[in-house]
Structure 1
Amino acid sequence: MNGPEIHVEVAPALHLFVPAARRGGATALATDGASTLGHVIESLGVPLTEVGALVVDDREVPVSHIPSAGEHVSVRAVERPQRVPGAPLRFLLDVHLGTLARRLRLLGVDTAYESTDIGDPALAARSAAEKRVMLSRDRGLLRRRELWAGAFVYSTRPDDQLQDVLDRFAPELRPWTRCTACNGLLREATKEEVADQLKGGTQRSYDVFAQCTACGRAYWKGAHHEQLEAVVERALSMRPQDG
Structure 2
Amino acid sequence: MNGPEIQISFAPGLRLFVSAERRTGPTPVTTDGASSLGHVVESLGVPLTEAGRLLVDGRPVEAAHVPSAGETVEVQDVTRPQQVPGAPLRFLLDVHLGTLARRLRLLGVDASYESEDIGDPALAALSARERRVMLSRDRGLLRRRELWAGAYVYSDRPDEQLRDVLERFAPPLAPWTRCTACNGELSGTDKDAVRARLEQGTEKTYDVFAQCVKCDRVYWRGAHHARLETIVSDAMREFGGATAG
Same fold (TM over 0.5): yes
Provide the rounded CA distance (Å) in 1 between the counterparts of 2:186 and 2:46.
39
Q: Deviations over 1:70-94 (max 9, x none)?
A: 1000000100000000110000000
In structure 2, do the counterparts of structure 1 residues 217 and 241 end up closer, same or farther at CA, with 3 Å as the change threshold? Answer: closer
State the shift of 1:197 in Å.
2.1
Alignment of 1:187-206 (within 5 A): 187-206=187-206
What is residue 47 of structure 1 aligned with on the other side? Answer: 47
Provide the rounded CA distance (Å) in 2 between the counterparts of 1:21 and 1:63.
23
Code of the aligned partner of 1:21: E
What is residue 59 of structure 1 aligned with on the other side? Answer: 59
What is residue 169 of structure 2 aligned with on the other side? Answer: 169
SS of 1:178 mapped into structure 2: coil
Q: Which consecutive segments of 4 or more residues in structure 1 shift more than 6 A?
A: none
What is residue 102 of structure 2 aligned with on the other side? Answer: 102
Provide the rounded CA distance (Å) in 2 between the counterparts of 1:35 and 1:197.
60
Provide the rounded CA distance (Å) in 2 between the counterparts of 1:12 and 1:158.
23
State the shift of 1:212 in Å.
0.3
Code of the aligned partner of 2:178: R
What is residue 73 of structure 2 aligned with on the other side? Answer: 73
Identity fraction in percent:
69
SS of 1:192 mapped into structure 2: helix
Is the CA contact (8 Å cut-off) linking 2:173 and 2:240 kept in structure 1? Answer: no
Q: Deviations over 1:206-242 (max 9, x none)?
A: 0000000000000000000000000000111112759
SS of 1:101 mapped into structure 2: helix
Provide the rounded CA distance (Å) in 2 between the counterparts of 1:238 and 1:52.
24
* Unpaired runs of at least 5, structure 2: none
Q: Deviations over 1:31-73 (max 9, x none)?
A: 1111000000000000000001000001100000000001000
Provide the rounded CA distance (Å) in 2 between the counterparts of 1:126 and 1:239.
28
In structure 2, do the counterparts of structure 1 residues 69 and 89 end up closer, same or farther at CA, with 3 Å as the change threshold? Answer: same
Alignment of 1:1-243 (within 5 A): 1-239=1-239
State the shift of 1:196 in Å.
2.5
Is the CA contact (8 Å cut-off) linking 2:172 and 2:240 kept in structure 1? Answer: no
Q: Is the deviation greater in 142-151 or in 195-204?
A: 195-204
Provide the rounded CA distance (Å) in 1 between the counterparts of 2:40 and 2:14.
15
Alignment TM-score, normalising by the size of structure 2? 0.97
Alignment TM-score, normalising by the size of structure 1? 0.98
Provide the rounded CA distance (Å) in 2 between the counterparts of 1:133 and 1:228.
25
Q: Deviations over 1:179-211 (max 9, x none)?
A: 000001101111121122211110110000000
Q: Name the Cα RMSD after superposition.
A: 1.0
Provide the rounded CA distance (Å) in 1 between the counterparts of 2:196 and 2:45.
52
Number of positions where the alignment pairs a residue of Structure 1 with one of Structure 2: 242
